[in-house]
Structure 1
Amino acid sequence: MPRRGGVKVRQVMPDPVTGSTVVTKIINKIMWDGKKSKAESIMYGALDIVEKTIGEPGVQVLEKAIQNITPILEVRPRRVGGAVYQIPIEVEPRRGLALAIRWIVDAARARTGKSMKENLAQEIIDGYRGTGTGIKKREDMHKMAEANRAFAHYRW
């Protein structure tokens, strides 16, 4: 991070197929070794599976799943008088979106037995329904913030 001035936020172009910037961000997160067309085929395949399974447009299901997974609170370490406290703070919308996308993609990669396309589709469906690994991570983060609520007065 720079000492002076802020970090300029780069604008992500909307996805040409769906018109959603969230889909573009997920494609970029899935991508390994610059293989963007492979990441795109995984994402679009997952959205097709989601549409067939749920019966609603895949992008709407994806956005609802991300909304369900996005955390509200997180804990950040703060050093006060030689001790390090975990201070609960509110999550900014950009960081919340980034965390939700990261959790969905990492959970899909951690699943075994099926293709990445099917795993990603299942994670999106689980997030939409309020179950799955992403929701569990969010709940764990909220529990930690609630447990450390006593240190909230150290926030500055």
Structure 2
Amino acid sequence: MFRGIFQSKLPSCSAIFGIRSYVTRHQNTAITKALRAADVLVNPRIGVPEPMVSAEDRQRLRTDPLLAQLVNMIMRDGKKMQAEKHVQRALLDIRQITNDDPYKLLADAVDMVAPLMDTKSARQGSKIIQVPRALNLRQRRRRAIVWLLDAVSRRNERSFFMRLSGELQAIVNGTSGILEKKLRLHRMVLLNRSNIRTTKSF
């Protein structure tokens, strides 16, 4: 059906490759690329709408480090396209509700809850203590996204993208419980700051 939609936009195989009656693998690849590059038309019989997410936005999901990390952590069972769809719909929901740039809101929300430091277990004599350590940017974002997804799973909205959108907005508005988690972690780091010289860890 969809090949019929694109048919008027594509030259025939004979026009491209001569008079051969068969299609080689190289020719099939060229046809597939031409199909993907053709304009998307709306089928008047079934009323297929134009996609709400632009190609630029879809590409940004895979090239932007924060978005790519979020998608990879949402992904389950290797279903990356489904995870991308969840993030796309959440960003669209944020744009519709706030009338603001959803990418900026996402970055601001993650930065607000990303901890600067963490603690790791270390042995001191016969006891185990907590030693503070600084986190790099990717580690900070990972901890923030773990907290974010945990909070999303506890929300009551029906759809995942609505829960994700709602939690990101709650963080920016200062009403999310994740902010308290970050404060508790930083308090623990301060309480154990005297253990920073410990080097033997496991």
Change over 3 Å in CA distance of 1:20–1:140 after alignment to 2: same
Change over 3 Å in CA distance of 1:58–1:113 after alignment to 2: closer
Change over 3 Å in CA distance of 1:100–1:33 after alignment to 2: same
Q: Does 1:141 align with 2:185?
A: yes
C-alpha distance in 1, partners of 2:91/2:177?
A: 19
Percentage of pairs with the same residue: 24
Q: Are the aligned partners of 1:15 and 1:21 in contact in 2 as well (CA < 8 Å)?
A: no
Q: Which residue identity is paired with 1:16?
A: Q
- Provide TM-score, normalisation by structure 2: 0.64
Q: Are the aligned partners of 1:51 and 1:57 in contact in 2 as well (CA < 8 Å)?
A: yes
C-alpha distance in 2, partners of 1:40/1:100?
A: 19
C-alpha distance in 2, partners of 1:130/1:74?
A: 22
Q: Are the aligned partners of 1:46 and 1:120 in contact in 2 as well (CA < 8 Å)?
A: yes
CA drift at 1:155: 5.1
Summarize the alignment of residues 50-65 of structure 1 with structure 2, pairs less than 5 Å apart: 50-65=94-109
1:70-121 Cα shifts (integer Å, max 9, x gaps):
1012111110111111112222222111111222122112223421111100
- Provide TM-score, normalisation by structure 1: 0.80
Could you say which residue in structure 2 is the equivalent of 1:45? Answer: 89
Query: What is the root-mean-square deviation in Å for CA atoms of aligned residues?
Result: 2.1
Q: Does 1:106 align with 2:131?
A: no
Q: Are the aligned partners of 2:60 and 2:67 in contact in 1 as well (CA < 8 Å)?
A: no
User: In the comparison of the two structures, how many residue pairs are matched?
Assistant: 143
C-alpha distance in 2, partners of 1:78/1:15?
A: 43
C-alpha distance in 1, partners of 2:175/2:73?
A: 22
Unaligned residue ranges in structure 1 (runs of 5+): 1-13
**Runs (4+) of structure 1 moved beyond 3 Å?**
none
Summarize the alignment of residues 6-45 of structure 1 with structure 2, pairs less than 5 Å apart: 16-17=59-60, 19-45=63-89
**Structure 1, 133-142 or 39-48: larger mean CA deviation:** 133-142
**Bigger radius of gyration among the two:** 2
Corresponding residue SS for 2:119 = strand
CA drift at 1:17: 4.3
Corresponding residue SS for 1:84 = strand
1:33-73 Cα shifts (integer Å, max 9, x gaps):
22222212211111111112222111111011111111012
Higher normalized contact order (CA 8 Å, seq sep 6+, divided by chain length) = 1
Q: Does 1:90 align with 2:102?
A: no
Could you say which residue in structure 2 is the equivalent of 1:10? Answer: none
